[in-house]
């Protein structure tokens, strides 16, 4: 069999844990990591230390997104794949096969929609490549986050926000002022722009 990728890693991503399997000419190694940022950094270091050029992950929900951001920052090729692309062994009933087929068909549909939307986003942002490239020079900001920032605040930031403090407040990254009788009390940040706030928080946690 022809070897296409000499050193690769497969990830099974869950909410609280990630099981990683690295296959190299030296053999196979399996390790489990927790999903806090410090452990995600350990995962990336572990992948880098073994010289993996490609990482594939099969996951549901959004738990794979922070990992993708870190892989992008390290220039590691990644694939978010369907369950049908990962070898499975075991016995399934007719009902289980029917349900699995329905789920995989739906996943294929969603992936097609993602491709279509990504193509449209790239087309609309094409005139702003210089701004996107500049945003990507910021530590923790990868392409997807740069696109989100540009989409939410535009290119003429100074016309919309008089200062950086105004922008941070609009996003919802500044705690509210909660003081009584000269004593400061704990306070939460305002809601702000939840999409940009989530993206920037994720970017900060990846550093």
Q: Which residues contact 92 (CB under 8 A, 6 or more apart)?
A: 100
Asked if 95 and 46 touch (Cβ cutoff 8 Å), the reply is no
Q: Which residues contact 155 (CB under 8 A, 6 or more apart)?
A: 128, 131
Q: What is the pLDDT of residue 65?
A: 81
Q: What is the pLDDT of residue 175?
A: 66
Which of 59, 20, 61 is CA-nearest to residue 39?
Answer: 20
pLDDT under 70: residue ranges of the chain:
1-3, 59-61, 82-90, 175-190
Q: What is the pLDDT of residue 46?
A: 92
Fold of the 8-89 domain: Nucleotidyltransferase; domain 5 (3.30.420)
Report how far residue 168's alpha carbon sits from residue 156's, in angstroms, rounded to the nearest whole number.
Answer: 16
Q: What is the pLDDT of residue 133?
A: 92
Q: What is the pLDDT of residue 68?
A: 84
Which tens digits make up the pLDDT trace of 135-157? 999 998 988 899 999 989 988 88
Terminal CA-CA length for the chain:
40
Can you read off the two tokens belonging to residue 140? 């923790």
The helix-helix angle for 143-153 and 65-73 (nearest 10°) equals 110
Which of 32, 92, 43 is CA-nearest to residue 66?
Answer: 43
Q: What is the pLDDT of residue 190?
A: 67
Report how far residue 68's alpha carbon sits from residue 55's, in angstroms, rounded to the nearest whole number.
Answer: 9
Asked if 62 and 69 touch (Cβ cutoff 8 Å), the reply is no
For residue 28, what is the DSSP state?
E
Can you read off the two tokens belonging to residue 73? 């920052």
Could you list the beta-strand ranges (E) of 83-148: none
Q: What is the pLDDT of residue 78?
A: 86
Delimiting residues of CATH 3.30.420.60 domain(s) in the chain:
8-89
Can you read off the two tokens belonging to residue 35? 């999903």
Q: What is the pLDDT of residue 87?
A: 63
- Residue 94, H or E segment: helix 94-125
Q: What is the pLDDT of residue 31?
A: 92
């Amino acid at each position: 069999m022809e070897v296409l990728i000499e050193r690769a890693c497969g990830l099974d991503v869950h909410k609280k844990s990630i099981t990683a399997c690295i296959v190299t000419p030296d053999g196979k190694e399996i390790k489990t990591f927790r999903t806090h940022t410090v452990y995600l950094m350990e995962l990336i270091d572990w992948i880098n230390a073994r010289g993996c050029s490609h990482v594939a992950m099969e996951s549901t929900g959004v738990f794979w997104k922070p990992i993708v951001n870190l892989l992008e920052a390290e220039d590691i090729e990644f694939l978010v794949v369907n369950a049908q692309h990962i070898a499975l062994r075991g016995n399934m009933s007719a009902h289980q096969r029917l349900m699995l087929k329905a789920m995989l068909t739906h996943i294929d549909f969603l992936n097609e929609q993602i491709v279509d939307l990504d193509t449209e986003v790239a087309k609309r942002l094409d005139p702003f490549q210089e701004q996107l490239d500049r945003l990507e020079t910021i530590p923790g900001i990868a392409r997807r986050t740069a696109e989100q920032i540009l989409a939410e605040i535009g290119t003429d930031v100074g016309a919309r926000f008089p200062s950086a403090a105004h922008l941070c407040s609009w996003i919802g990254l500044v705690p509210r002022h909660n003081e009584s009788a000269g004593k400061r009390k704990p306070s939460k940040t305002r809601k702000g722009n939840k999409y940009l706030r989530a993206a920037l928080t994720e970017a900060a946690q990846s550093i």
